[in-house]
Amino acid sequence: MPNPPNVESVAPQSSASQPSIPQRRLQPLLHDLVTTTSAPTTALSAADGQIGAGGVQGVFHADARVLARAVLLVDGREPEPIGYTPAGPGASRFVSLARWLGDPTPDPTVRIDRLRRVIPGGMDEKIVITSTADVPVRATVTLDVACDLVPIEVVKSGDSAALLPPLNGLTWTAAGTTVTVTGDGTIVETGLRWTVDLPTRGSATLHWQLRIHDFRAVVAAPSGPVEWSRPEVTADDHRLVRLLDQSLDDLSTLRLTDGEDTFLGAGVPWFLTLFGRDSIWAARMLLPIGTDLAAGTLRVLARRQGRRVDDRSGEAPGKIMHEQRRGEFRVESDGDDLALPAAYYGTVDATALWVSLLHDAWRWGMPADEVAALLPSLEAALNWLAGHTGFLRYIDTTGRGLANQGWKDSGDAVRFRDGRRAEPPIALAEVQGYAYQAAVHGAALLDAFDRPGGERWREYAERLAVRFRAQFWVDGPQGPYPALAVDGHGRPVDALTSNIGHLLGTGLLSAQESAAVAEALSSPAMSSGYGLRTMSAQDAGYSPLSYHCGSIWAHDTAIAIAGLAKTGFGAAAARLADGMLAAGEAFDYQMPELHSGDDRAEVSRPMPYPAACRPQAWSAAAAVAILQSALGLYPDVPAGHVTLRPGVPLGAITAGGLRIAGIDVTASVDASGNARVLSLPDTIRIAEHTHVPAQRRAASDAVGHR
């Protein structure tokens, strides 16, 4: 996802003594808005429920803003807000007062509850006006609405567009999209009007609806129940339960479909569409609660797998796409100058991650016939990997695509320790780990399904590990660690970053090397107390509010937690998990895309990153990844066994409704680290049960990487 610029347009200033300041187009802020989502439709409003103060407020549907204004007035005045609360998936409640009505007492006697429910392709609002006054109340209620049908990238750029005139009544049409507002009030020029007469201690309920008909949308909502289970979890740390509950609610609102196959849109509002990397990681983290989402994600991306070489879109045979849009996605504002084709392949890591998702879903019990049907796409993906000599590298040759094409894809994300930007082509550290793991995983699948090539890919992985060991390791102030990348001149980009956490558990590192990575991640410069910083606070490029150079991303921290747990560094994993739970509590358990990298010792709560998506798929899925790491549940359904190796000491946890081979199981770990699993399928046995005491080996016990 490209690095968002900062905020809204800044008007120029001038005076006789002060030169004018050039106008800048900056991305609108999101952090203080209320998001109500049911993909592919989202409402973004102020905390009072009003829509229409500019910026990114509005109702969006499939990459377009379909309603720019929905302002409720009582007697021509805005009610005074007193609170907002979520009301379940896709619903929000806003409460306000009309203190000029009712009894002339200090206590308010006229209350307005605005219950908003977003559905795919629409929004319904119920407005309940309640009086506890001892006198009758009469009021005129109006809803002012307006529509601009502007593409989301225009909003993202900080631009605005002219409002459209309605065709008839409250209907607007442009570019193949029709928007209609109806209600039980009277249609007037600006919207709807109701005359409300309340008897003593009476109430009235008003309704209005928004409906969208969009024949050009490239994403749609699925029908039927969610594709995963909802585990029943109890835990000594109640924050984990609350984070899981909210995260699963959020994930249910991000479901999108392609035919009968469901996947998760990346995030609201900018990325509510198919994103290869994001959709894959989210599905991979959710494997403990079912393989159906993974299967759908794999098939959707396989259908769009590259077939030809196209420099503009980045397409290549076997390559997995980056993102799918309605049309060309153009962003021209401070920090971005992009023109991405509707189907864009500018990602260096999604192809390897697709292979590992297929492998992991197979291990969790994805039906063998569904796996077999995807083997031609697996072989094509592996062949794309083989087309890279040496390391997997990327370079944008168009000048209008993403300059950086790993998960940290902002223009300034790849820096040396002294702050200089790396020059392409760039080989990222974590991408080599993904490639190594994809080769090993691909070999296992080819062997299991009697396809040729397994030995070739095991040899590929070993050669890659040798090259990585020779070129990536650098020495820093606290010891050795893998560089962020190798640049186009063959130089290690020596910044200390969270990218190296993705290497843990891939198999690319030796035990000693894993220990060195755990040591680096555990340093105060990386571990802030609210999660894992994307860049060390000791590096010159660090900023706590940089998109990729010092902020904290929930999914990134969860990947590091999982890797630390797998490689035996439970104390380090637990510190990061505690930071994530503290951050979740501060954000009402709805984890944003990212938050500030400020130190917990200096601020009592993490600061929001003002342009972060929320909800976001892999941020929400991170809660399930933390749960699995704590339980230590690692199945291998084809081999007929499951390993129990709890890796994050968070106290006692029990989770019922996890799924292995489509069967609900219950897994638990007690405060001493003893793990159990109940109700396993008859074909599955417990192969390994490792007791790990609550105080596990700390990263500081590690030795050097050589």
| Position 107 pLDDT exceeds 90 | yes
Helix or strand (DSSP H, E) at 477: none
Per-residue pLDDT, 333: 56
| Position 703 pLDDT exceeds 70 | no
CA atoms within 13 A of residue 525's CA, in its CB half-sphere? 17
Which has the minimum average pLDDT: 7-21, 147-161, 294-308, 350-364? 7-21
Helix or strand (DSSP H, E) at 351: helix 350-364
| Position 702 pLDDT exceeds 80 | no
Q: What does pLDDT average to over the chain? A: 93
| Position 1 pLDDT exceeds 80 | no
pLDDT in tens, 449-493: 999 999 999 999 999 999 999 999 999 988 999 999 999 999 999
Q: Which whole number is the average pLDDT over 624-629?
A: 98
| Contacts for 48 with CB less than 8 Å, ≥ 6 apart | 78, 79, 81, 84, 94, 96
| Position 694 pLDDT exceeds 70 | no
pLDDT in tens, 662-679: 999 999 999 999 999 999
| Position 610 pLDDT exceeds 80 | yes
CA 586/CA 619 separation, integer angstroms: 15
User: What is the full DSSP assignment across 580-607?
Assistant: HHHHHHHTTT---SEE----TTT-SSPP
Per-residue pLDDT, 315: 98
**Which one is predicted more confidently, 557 or 331?**
557
pLDDT in tens, 505-556: 999 999 999 999 999 999 999 999 999 999 999 999 999 999 999 999 999 9
| Position 580 pLDDT exceeds 80 | yes
What are the percentages of helix, strand and coil residues in the chain, rounded to 5? Answer: 25, 30, 45
| Position 21 pLDDT exceeds 60 | no
Helix (H, G, I), strand (E, B) or coil at 264: strand
CA 409/CA 190 separation, integer angstroms: 43
| Position 383 pLDDT exceeds 80 | yes
Residues in the chain: 706
Per-residue pLDDT, 334: 53
Helix or strand (DSSP H, E) at 695: none
- The confidence band for 10, taking pLDDT boundaries of 50, 70 and 90, is very low
Per-residue pLDDT, 215: 87
| Position 128 pLDDT exceeds 90 | yes
Per-residue pLDDT, 699: 39
**Per-residue H/E/C for 380-397:** HHHHHHHCCCCCCCECCC
pLDDT in tens, 178-222: 999 999 999 999 999 999 999 999 999 999 999 999 988 899 999
Predicted TM-score (pTM) of the model is 0.94
Per-residue pLDDT, 4: 46
- The confidence band for 160, taking pLDDT boundaries of 50, 70 and 90, is confident
Integer Rg of the chain from CA: 26
Helix segments in 472-569, DSSP class H: 511-521, 554-566
| Position 577 pLDDT exceeds 50 | yes
CA 372/CA 357 separation, integer angstroms: 14
Per-residue pLDDT, 691: 55
Per-residue pLDDT, 332: 73
Q: Sketch out the chain's domains with CATH numbers.
A: 41-214 (no CATH), 232-595+603-669 (1.50.10.10)
Per-residue pLDDT, 330: 87
CA end-to-end span of the chain: 36
Q: What percent of the chain has pLDDT over 90?
A: 89
Q: Which whole number is the average pLDDT over 15-37?
A: 74
Per-residue pLDDT, 271: 95
Q: Which whole number is the average pLDDT over 222-241?
A: 97
